[in-house]
Amino acid sequence: MIERIKSIKNIGTYENSGNGRIELDRFSYIYAANTYGKTTFCDIIRSLKTLDCSYILKRRRIGIKPTEKCEVDFTISGKNVKFDGSTWIIPADADISKNIEVFDVNFVEENVFTNGVIEHKNKENLTNFILGERSVELVKILSELENASSQKKEEFESLKSSLEKNIGDISYDTIRKIPYDENFKDKESLLISIKEALKEYVKQKSNISDIKKIPSISLLSIDCNSIKDIVKQVKEICGVVIDVDLTKLLKDINKFKEETPNLSDSWIKEGIKLKTNKCPFCGEDIAQNRRVKIFSEYFSELIVALLDKVENAQSKVMRHYRNCSIGTLINKIRQQTTNISQYALRDECEIIEKALDEISELDIRLGTAIDRSREELYSALTDKLRSFTCCDYDFTDTNAAIKVIEELELKVADLNEGISAINIIFEEFKNSLTLESIDNKIKVLNSEYYGANLVLIRGMQNDEIERLIQLEDHITEIRKKIKDIRTKIDDSESKFLDTYFAEIQEIYKKLGSENYRLERETPPRGKKKVYGVKIYFKDNLVDQNRFCLSESDKRALALSIFLAKIKVDKNPNMILVLDDPITSFDQDRMRLFALLLQELSKSCFAQVILLMHYENFFRVINTFTKENKSILQIKKDKDNHIFVPLSTDDNIFKDNYEALLDKVIRFINADINDIAENDVRILFEKYLHMYYAYETSKTCELKGKSLHDFITILAKNGYLSSECEDELLDRLRFLNDSSHSFNCYSEEEKRSFIKEAYNCLHNLHK
């Protein structure tokens, strides 16, 4: 047995884990949440079984120093077994490899399923799992030969594909028959130029009508006048100076308005328009009135006009000060240029493309410059509203934007000049295109090209062709050896179904798959047979097109294959390590698996280590095992994950109701000092539903009701006395009454209420 996990260092989630004081027993159950290290632990055990260090080294902890090693230290059957960072150190008299079997997701994928069905790859792995020592050497040789064959074939196909890409329409089978000519390079320069010319003529010939339809390239036009006008207007406004202290004037205006809150701007403006020194109401002389002077100054035509200009300019800046993007037109010109460059004027079109790139970049720069300028202009106008005496403003960003516009306009002018030149040349090219002229040129070039082409290709690719011929011979030799080895191990593989099939069938049924039937399958494949199983669901064959196994049934079949070997071989020294074996199992299948494990434990293995993250299964499996068991949990401790022992009264072994009931009782007994009113409400509901489960099954109107209605219907049907109904509803109303705040009560008041509520529930038994 694996008796102690003394340490696991720098592997996966284990920084420095293990606890030499914790003893593993014959039945060792380890609970851990996902990502807490279950699969890593199984990989460590698989490495120990196979002595393949890669299982550990590929899980080397991220972030550790190069000098830090991955280390493992176990006590197995009283002996120290260690992994020192590069190899396993095992006592000479310890035969561990044949006494360990691991069930995990790797086992399921390799031995049962790929993409939902049992395929050829799985069937071979299925029998290889069973072969063990009986044919291990032959299987290793076969595996090496098949890997070598696969590698050579992959290399051949890769080289062949690469060669055929290089030689165009000529196949490898054709070119390998052409004799090698040492003077092949004499044809190289000629063929290259002919090939390029042919490509051009063929392309032109097939597209004459399309070429003649290709339109001229459009000229690029931009209009930034509105931007310039707005800039000019803002600068003119900001340059106006009125000798008025606007801040003081506004202060006086606001003060007068506070003194006379009903005084409206429109009324003041109308009064100022009267142009009189006498008050129209009392006749008093108002020419020297300070208030009138201030209002007259603020609402003077000069100030009002300037304010209107500022507001109008601000509106234009926000609404119309935008860069007129020319991206769409640029893309159109690009496409038109591309259409022409396919057939002619490539160099000239490339110059246009570069100019368009520069203009696109300027357009992007202009957009950014406009955004900054807008903020600058708006800010200047806002400052103007604060002071009419200021005329010195910073227009750095705006001037920069105008500079970009000027640069853009120059670039566009140069571009349009180039486009006009290309359009003239391209029109001449289109007018000269005829089918007859192109055909004559192609005919002459083809006659020159064909004779020299094969000689040149054979000469240029000679090394690759010779390598391919050698690979073909090597692959043929390896295939012959594979055929011989398969013939030798065929008899050994055929014993698998005879030995284990009946037990697989039986265990599969025991795991709740009675609707499934397994059938032996030995389809011929030349002289080699691949042994496996067919699966029927109610006499319908399960395949990709008609039926599909559920995840639960897949896992059950995988377990059946794994456990059949354990049961038939009956190795009393076997250590079983299973990683979440009941994934997707329901409660019933969990129970069936636990029963099966207890049955096999009588003589088929020495120890089972179960790692799981399902709390329900953790509770189920513990109820089946009374003796010789250790219960552990992998917990997170900062950046480390550690193994800690659990007792049977740990909360993990309680369901939700038991945990809630335990919490309420502990609060009543003052073992804890805090509880929520919702806990009490839920206890009411769960207790009543459990207590009256039989009555609920007979009375339809009880199903799915709220707690209040549930209590009322119980009393209505005579299941509950009126006194109990009143008391229960009274407790429930207190918990539901929004005018009461349970959390505001003192701890003793809460404890008293909950104790009375708990006693109320127990009175139902009287």
Summarize pLDDT for 267-282 with one digit per residue, the tens.
555 555 455 555 555 5
3-state secondary structure 326-358: CHHHHHHHHHHHHHHHCCCCHHHHHHHHHHHHH
Query: Which residue carries 């884990």 as its tokens?
Result: 17
Amino acid 268: pLDDT: 53
The mean-pLDDT minimum among 44-58, 309-323, 381-395, 514-528 falls in 514-528
Instruction: State the amino acid at position 750 in one-letter form.
Output: K
More confident residue, 278 or 68: 68
Amino acid 667: pLDDT: 81
Amino acid 46: pLDDT: 92
Nearest one of 111, 171, 1, 17 to 632, comparing CA atoms? 17
Query: How sure is the predictor about 112, in pLDDT bands with cuts at 50, 70 and 90?
Result: low
3-state secondary structure 659-720: HHHHHHHHHHCCCCCCCCHHHHHHHHHHHHHHHCHHHHHHCHHHCCCCHHHHHHHHHHCCCC
β-strand partners of 625: none
Share of the chain above pLDDT 90, in %: 12
Amino acid 132: pLDDT: 45
Q: Name the phi and psi angles at 291, rounded to 5.
A: -65, -40
Residue 594 clears pLDDT 80, i.e. is over it:
yes
Other beta carbons within 10 angstroms of residue 712's beta carbon come to: 16
Q: For the CA atoms of the chain, what is the radius of gyration? A: 45
Query: How sure is the predictor about 25, in pLDDT bands with cuts at 50, 70 and 90?
Result: very high
pLDDT tens across 181-195, in order?
A: 888 888 877 777 888
Q: What is the mean pLDDT of the chain?
A: 80
Residue 670 clears pLDDT 70, i.e. is over it:
yes
The mean-pLDDT minimum among 296-310, 410-424, 467-481 falls in 296-310
Amino acid 618: pLDDT: 80
Whether the CB-CB separation of 567 and 602 falls below 8 Å is answered with no
Whether the CB-CB separation of 499 and 543 falls below 8 Å is answered with no
Residue 388 clears pLDDT 80, i.e. is over it:
no
Residue 324 clears pLDDT 90, i.e. is over it:
no
d(CA 299, CA 62): 76
Residue 679 clears pLDDT 50, i.e. is over it:
yes
d(CA 597, CA 593): 6
Extract the tokens encoding 608: 């089972």
Amino acid 320: pLDDT: 78
d(CA 628, CA 26): 6
d(CA 525, CA 422): 68
Burial of 211 (0-12, 13-18, 19+ CB in 10 A): buried
Residues, the chain: 766
The mean-pLDDT minimum among 27-36, 120-129, 642-651 falls in 120-129
Amino acid 59: pLDDT: 92
Do strands 640-645 and 79-83 pair parallel, antiparallel, or not at all (unpaired)?
Answer: unpaired
Average pLDDT over residues 724-746: 72
pTM beyond 0.75: the answer is: no
Extract the tokens encoding 280: 């129209």
Query: How sure is the predictor about 133, in pLDDT bands with cuts at 50, 70 and 90?
Result: very low
Please name the residues in contact with 203: beta carbons below 8 A apart, sequence gap of 6 or more.
342, 343
The mean-pLDDT minimum among 19-28, 128-137, 471-480, 551-560 falls in 128-137
Please name the residues in contact with 621: beta carbons below 8 A apart, sequence gap of 6 or more.
29, 590, 594, 597, 610, 612
d(CA 693, CA 697): 6
Query: How sure is the predictor about 74, in pLDDT bands with cuts at 50, 70 and 90?
Result: very high
d(CA 83, CA 81): 7
Q: Name the phi and psi angles at 512, rounded to 5.
A: 90, 20
Please name the residues in contact with 654: beta carbons below 8 A apart, sequence gap of 6 or more.
662
Amino acid 740: pLDDT: 53
Average pLDDT over residues 551-580: 89
The mean-pLDDT minimum among 44-58, 363-377, 507-521, 737-751 falls in 737-751
Residue 173 clears pLDDT 80, i.e. is over it:
yes
Residue 544 clears pLDDT 70, i.e. is over it:
no
The mean-pLDDT minimum among 182-196, 217-231, 646-660 falls in 646-660
Average pLDDT over residues 38-43: 93
pLDDT tens across 282-314, in order?
A: 555 555 555 555 655 555 566 766 777 777 877
CA distances from 146 to 43, 131, 142, 159, 358 (A): 26, 18, 6, 20, 58
Extract the tokens encoding 464: 């690759």
Query: How sure is the predictor about 493, in pLDDT bands with cuts at 50, 70 and 90?
Result: low
Query: How sure is the predictor about 47, in pLDDT bands with cuts at 50, 70 and 90?
Result: very high
Amino acid 579: pLDDT: 93
Amino acid 122: pLDDT: 64
Amino acid 72: pLDDT: 94
Nearest one of 199, 168, 190, 216 to 343, comparing CA atoms? 199
β-strand partners of 75: 4, 80
Amino acid 55: pLDDT: 92
d(CA 58, CA 61): 9
